[in-house]
Amino acid sequence: MENPRNFVATHIMNAAQQQSGSTRALYTLYLISQGLIKAALIVGLLQRSFWSIKGPKPLPSQD
């Protein structure tokens, strides 16, 4: 399934259609890993896991 709103994935898929087999394998690995990371984050959010919702630490104030 192709998501036309995903800028990076769409451009990688278009570029992969014009590349050799080893380059396609690299693109495929990237896209699969991107999907797995997104799936893990969604599962973590649904389970309210703290590792999936931690954001960057705020900067100390300069007061």
Q: Give the domain ranges of the chain.
A: 7-48
Q: Whole-number mean pLDDT of the chain?
A: 77
Q: How many other C-beta atoms lie within 10 A of the C-beta of residue 14?
A: 9
The pLDDT tens digits for 29-47 are 988 999 999 998 888 877 8
Contact 9, 31 (CB under 8 A): yes
Q: Residue 22 is encoded by which pair of tokens?
A: 């080893």
Whether this prediction's pTM lies above 0.85 is answered by no
